[in-house]
C-alpha cells in the first residue's frame, strides 16, 4: 500500500485551479459542444491536462501538471501530490463505476485526489469534487470498485456507512474487510454476499437478494429493465426467460425461483388506447403498456452501446427507442394470443400521448 508523508501544499491555490479548470472546460463546451462531446474516456484526459497547464502559469503549480495515462490512478498529477481522476459519461446522469477499492495502481506520493466528471450528454457539464466525497457504494465488476455519484449528499458516502475514513481505509492491509463486514450487517434472511470473478464493465451488487425481499418499487424497476433488455420475453420461445435468469443474478444480484410469473401472472385484461379498447390482452403486454413511461426512461438512460449488446443488433442514441419498438413488435407476432394486437401501433400511440 503506497502512503505519502507529504503535507498539503498550496491547497487553497489548487482548489482555485480546479474551479478555474471547470469554468474553462464549460466555456469550451459552450463554444464548441460538438468537438467536446467527442472527448470520451481517455480522450478527455490530455485535454484537461492542457487546460490545467495553461491555467497553472503564474501559480505554484506551473510546470507541475503531468498526464499519467495508462492504467495508473489518478489520470493527472499536480506537484506530485494532488491527483485528478477524469471520468466521462454520454448519459444524462452523474453516476459511473469508479476505481478499485484496493488502489493497486495508485501513483506514488499522490495524497489528495479529486474527481473531474464530464457529462457529455446535452447540455454538456463538468463537475469536480474531492474523490472520497462522491463514492456512494462498492460494486463488483471483476474486482470490488467504488460507485461514483457526483450528486451524493454529504454524510452519505460508503465511508460514512462503514464508519471508516477514506484515508484510513486505503492504508489498511485489507481494505475489503470493513466493506464486507458492513454489507454482511445489512443482509436479510436468505441473502448472502457474493463474488463474480469475470471481466464485466457493468457494476453488480455485492449482495444476492431473494425476489420476495425486494420492495414493490425495486421489483418494478427490475421488470422495466428486463422488458427493455430482453425483447424475447414477448415471444413464445421456450427459453425466453433464460437470459433474464442469468442477468438477474449476475447484474442485479437477485434470485427468483418463478421468473415466468413475474410477467404472466394475473391472466388477460383490457386496455384503452386513445378511443379504442383492446380486450383479451395477455398480462405481459399489459405490464408493458402500463409501465411504458418508465420503460422509455430506462431506454434513455441506457447507452446505445449497451443496448446493442443486449439486443444483438447495432443501434444508436437516435434510433434506440424506434429499434426497441421494432424488436418488441417482431417478437409479439410469434404469440397467437397477441395476433389481434398491433403492438407497434399501440406502443407508438401511447408514447405520443
* 256-262 mean pLDDT: 90
The answer, yes or no, to whether residue 193 has pLDDT greater than 80, is no
Res. 201: pLDDT tops 60 = no
pLDDT for 203: 55
Average pLDDT along the chain? 90
Phi, psi of 185 (to 5 degrees): -65, -15
Neighbouring C-alpha atoms within 13 Å toward the C-beta of 2:
15
Cα dist from 297 to 147, 228, 267, whole Å: 21, 10, 27
Q: Which of 177, 195, 218 is the last residue of a domain?
A: 177
- Does the residue 200 lie in any domain? no
Contact between residue 48 and residue 25 where contact means Cβ atoms under 8 Å apart? yes
- Let me know whether 40 and 150 are in one domain: yes
**Per-residue pLDDT, 184:** 85
Number of domains in the chain: 2
What confidence score (pLDDT) does residue 266 get?
Answer: 77
* Residues near 349 by beta carbon (within 8 Å), at least 6 away in sequence: 273, 274
Give residue 263's pLDDT: 86
Q: Is residue 308 part of a domain?
A: yes
Q: pLDDT tens digit string along 205-232?
A: 667 899 999 999 999 999 999 999 999 9
Residues 223 and 165 in one domain: no
Using alpha carbons, list the distances in angstroms from residue 296 to 82, 293, 322, 352.
Answer: 41, 5, 11, 12
The answer to whether residue 262 is domain-embedded is yes
Looking at the structure, tell me whether residues 222 and 331 fall in a common domain: yes
Q: Is residue 21 part of a domain?
A: yes
Within this chain, do residues 137 and 234 fall inside the same structural domain, yes or no? Answer: no
Domain end marker among 128, 156, 177: 177
Same domain, 142 and 219: no
What average pLDDT does the segment 87-110 reach? Answer: 93
Residue 3 pLDDT level (bands cut at 50, 70, 90):
very low
Strands 65-67 and 112-119: unpaired
Long-range contacts of range 329-333, CB-CB < 8 Å, 24 or more positions apart?
A: 330/231, 331/231, 331/232, 331/233, 331/234, 331/235, 332/234, 332/235, 332/285
pLDDT surpassing 90 at residue 309: no
Predicted TM-score (pTM) of this structure:
0.70
Phi, psi of 195 (to 5 degrees): -145, 130
Q: Give the pLDDT band of residue 198 (cuts 50, 70, 90).
A: very low
Same domain, 96 and 161: yes
pLDDT band at 4 (very low <50, low <70, confident <90, very high): very low
Q: For residues 110 and 72, is the Cβ–Cβ distance under 8 A?
A: no
| 172 and 258 together in one domain | no
- Which has more pLDDT, 310 or 205? 310
Grid cell listed for 89: 459519461
Share of the chain above pLDDT 70, in %: 93
Whether 173 is in a domain gets the answer yes
Q: Are residues 165 and 214 in the same domain?
A: no
Is the domain of 226 the same as that of 276?
Answer: yes
263-273: average pLDDT: 84
Pick from 59-73, 112-126, 188-202, 210-224: least confident: 188-202
Q: What is the pLDDT of residues 35-90, one digit of tens each?
A: 999 999 899 999 999 999 999 999 999 999 999 978 899 999 999 999 999 999 99
DSSP, res 254: E
Contact 321, 299 (CB under 8 A): yes
What's the confidence (pLDDT) of residue 190?
64
pLDDT of residue 5: 45
pLDDT of res. 230: 96
Is residue 188, in this structure, part of any structural domain at all?
A: no
**Does 217 share its domain with 78?**
no
Quote the pLDDT of residue 202.
53
Whether residue 258 lies inside any domain: the answer is yes
Residue 1 binned pLDDT confidence (cut-offs 50, 70, 90): very low
Domain end residue (candidates: 161, 177, 193): 177
Q: 251: closest CA among 200, 298, 299?
A: 200
What's the residue count for the chain?
Answer: 353
Does residue 199 sit within a domain? Answer: no
Q: Are 159 and 132 in contact (CB under 8 A)?
A: yes
Higher pLDDT, 28 or 144: 28
Which residues form the domain of 157? 11-177
Question: Which position has the higher pLDDT, 296 or 269?
Answer: 296
> 221 and 159, same structural domain?
no
5-34 pLDDT, tens digit per residue, is 446 789 999 999 999 999 999 999 999 999
Inform me whether the pLDDT recorded for 196 exceeds 60. no
Residues 171 and 222 in one domain: no
pLDDT greater than 80 at residue 118: yes
Amino acid at each position: 500500500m503506497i502512503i505519502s508523508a507529504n503535507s498539503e501544499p498550496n491547497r487553497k491555490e489548487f482548489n482555485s485551479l480546479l474551479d478555474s479548470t471547470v469554468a474553462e472546460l464549460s466555456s469550451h463546451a459552450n463554444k464548441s459542444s460538438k468537438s467536446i462531446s467527442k472527448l470520451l474516456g481517455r480522450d478527455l484526459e490530455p485535454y484537461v491536462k492542457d487546460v490545467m497547464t495553461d491555467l497553472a502559469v503564474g501559480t505554484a503549480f506551473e510546470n507541475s501538471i503531468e498526464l499519467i495515462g495508462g492504467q495508473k490512478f489518478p489520470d493527472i498529477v499536480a506537484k506530485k501530490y494532488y491527483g485528478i481522476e477524469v471520468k466521462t459519461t454520454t448519459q444524462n446522469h452523474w453516476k459511473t463505476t469508479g476505481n478499485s477499492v484496493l488502489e493497486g495502481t495508485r501513483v506514488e506520493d499522490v495524497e489528495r485526489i479529486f474527481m473531474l466528471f464530464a457529462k457529455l450528454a446535452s447540455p454538456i457539464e463538468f463537475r469536480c469534487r474531492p474523490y472520497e466525497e462522491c463514492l456512494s457504494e462498492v460494486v463488483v465488476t471483476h474486482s470490488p470498485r467504488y460507485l461514483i455519484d457526483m450528486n451524493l449528499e454529504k454524510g452519505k458516502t460508503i465511508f460514512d456507512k462503514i464508519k471508516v475514513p477514506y484515508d484510513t481505509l486505503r492504508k489498511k492491509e485489507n481494505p475489503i474487510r470493513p466493506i464486507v463486514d458492513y454489507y454482511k450487517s445489512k443482509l436479510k434472511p436468505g441473502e448472502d454476499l457474493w463474488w463474480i470473478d469475470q471481466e464485466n464493465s457493468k457494476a453488480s451488487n455485492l449482495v444476492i437478494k431473494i425476489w420476495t425481499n425486494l420492495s414493490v418499487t425495486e421489483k418494478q424497476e427490475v421488470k422495466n429493465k428486463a422488458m427493455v433488455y430482453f425483447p424475447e420475453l414477448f415471444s413464445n420461445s421456450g427459453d425466453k426467460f433464460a437470459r433474464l435468469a442469468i442477468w438477474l443474478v449476475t447484474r442485479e444480484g437477485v434470485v427468483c425461483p418463478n421468473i415466468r410469473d413475474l410477467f404472466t401472472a394475473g391472466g388477460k385484461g383490457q386496455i384503452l388506447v386513445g378511443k379504442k379498447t383492446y380486450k383479451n390482452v395477455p398480462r405481459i403486454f399489459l405490464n408493458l403498456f402500463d409501465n411504458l413511461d418508465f420503460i422509455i426512461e430506462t431506454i434513455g438512460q441506457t447507452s446505445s452501446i449497451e443496448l446493442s449488446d443486449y439486443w444483438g443488433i447495432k443501434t444508436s442514441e437516435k434510433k434506440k427507442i424506434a429499434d426497441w419498438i421494432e424488436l418488441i413488435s417482431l417478437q409479439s407476432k410469434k404469440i397467437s394470443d397477441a395476433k389481434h394486437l398491433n403492438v407497434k401501433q399501440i406502443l407508438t400511440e401511447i408514447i405520443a400521448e
